Amino acid sequence: MGDPSRAPPLTRASVIEAHELIKEYVHLTPVLTCHTLDTIASTPQEFTALSDTPHDGLDVPAKPKIRFFFKCENFQRVGAFKVRGAFHALKRLSKEELEKGVVTHSSGNHAQALALAARTFNIPAHIVMPTISTPSKIAGTRSYGARIVFSGSTSQEREAVVSTVIAQTGATLVPPYDHPNIILGQGTMALELEAQVTALLAPSEGPRKLDAVITPCGGGGMLSGVATALLGSGIRVFGAEPSFQGADDARRGIAARERVTHVKSLTIADGLRTPLGEWTWGIVSDRSKVAGVFSVSEDQIKAAMRLVLERMKVFIEPSAAVPLAVCLFNEEFRRLVEREGGEEGWNVGVVFSGGNTTVEAVAKIFETTDRKEERAAGEVGALGEREVQDVAG
């Protein structure tokens, strides 16, 4: 995308300008509430829920009061927030750059978003995708008319293929997350969320507004954009990551005061397997912009996803469930809300980042979980039978 210095500054005013540029191309996604999830989040966890977690052994679980407002980017075009950054990036290109087309490397939502934006502006799009990409996402990207070029799965292999495409076509690279224009585009959702929640609260609760927003964090483009958009608003911004196999690179990097540059994780939250980039690290690691990053386990992500599916009747991908999982299960975050929110509690905006998964994939996730539960129940039942036999003997 050329020299980042040509991009607007990373400010709230620039996010407002970006929203004006892209709002005709993106959906104003709804904000949903769910009293049942509010109640669950505002109920102290049972001690069993804390076992085998970093919070095991706590004497008293946190008692926060949380009211959720879910920004449903799973209803966005291509099923994910990524179209915001893609359209803003293309709106910032020159006529000459547009004529030569665009290229990116992505295995999922950014690939589809850029393909759609390129088709909208009638320009070529070259998408480098690992051969192990989900078939449904390959098909989705191809359906928008993009040329797909396959590569190996490592970042070095993907970047080598991108360089070849650029040399052959002169296409402009539009990275998935680590560029100011992408960050500003993604931040537009926060402006909408802030206004939508204010409107929802106004009739019943006067001037009250959002206290916090929590988003998934992979490469950090969305979290950085939301933090940029809400800087100075009084709304705290938090990030959420999976902890499986070190996928919580942002949290670990902040603790070590050094960016983690490589992540190799097979977390079910496949959209969050990417480490922070240089631009996003600069924002996410700044406590004046992002108040904290928290992580959750695979089982906690599954539990949150199940609640959304069963209680809200909303279809989301695992990555989108991670912020809710933090609010429900991460005791560090819950104690923060209890301490800072007091008796009134917090109005928390939660970003559902996308819904690009399949029924088959979701069934497989819960099939594994259900089998574990069945085995555990069987073991408990067998133990009970042995105890009865011992007493009878």
The active-site residue out of 82, 137, 209, 289 is 82
pLDDT, tens only, 206-251: 557 999 999 999 999 999 999 999 999 999 999 999 999 999 999 9
Of 31-45, 151-165, 218-232, 285-299, which range is least confident?
Answer: 151-165
Is 95 designated active site?
Answer: no
The active-site residue out of 14, 107, 133, 295 is 107
Tokens of 103: 């290229």
CA atoms within 13 A on the CB side of 214: 29
Return the number of other C-beta atoms located less than 10 Å from residue 38's C-beta.
16
pLDDT, tens only, 67-88: 999 999 999 999 999 999 999 9
pTM over 0.75: yes
3-class SS string, 199-262:
HHHHHHHCCCCCCEEEEECCCCHHHHHHHHHHCCCCCEEEEEEECHHHCCHHHHHHHHCCCCCC
Mean pLDDT of 338-357: 96
Domains and CATH numbers, the chain: 4-79+183-357 (3.40.50.1100), 82-182 (3.40.50.1100)
Instruction: Report d(CA 22, CA 371) in Å as an integer.
Output: 45
Tokens of 25: 């191309």
For all residues of the chain together, what is the average pLDDT? 90
Percentage of the residues of the chain whose pLDDT score is greater than 90? 77
Can you tell me whether residue 72 is helix, strand or coil?
strand
Instruction: Report d(CA 382, CA 374) in Å as an integer.
Output: 12
Is 107 designated active site?
Answer: yes
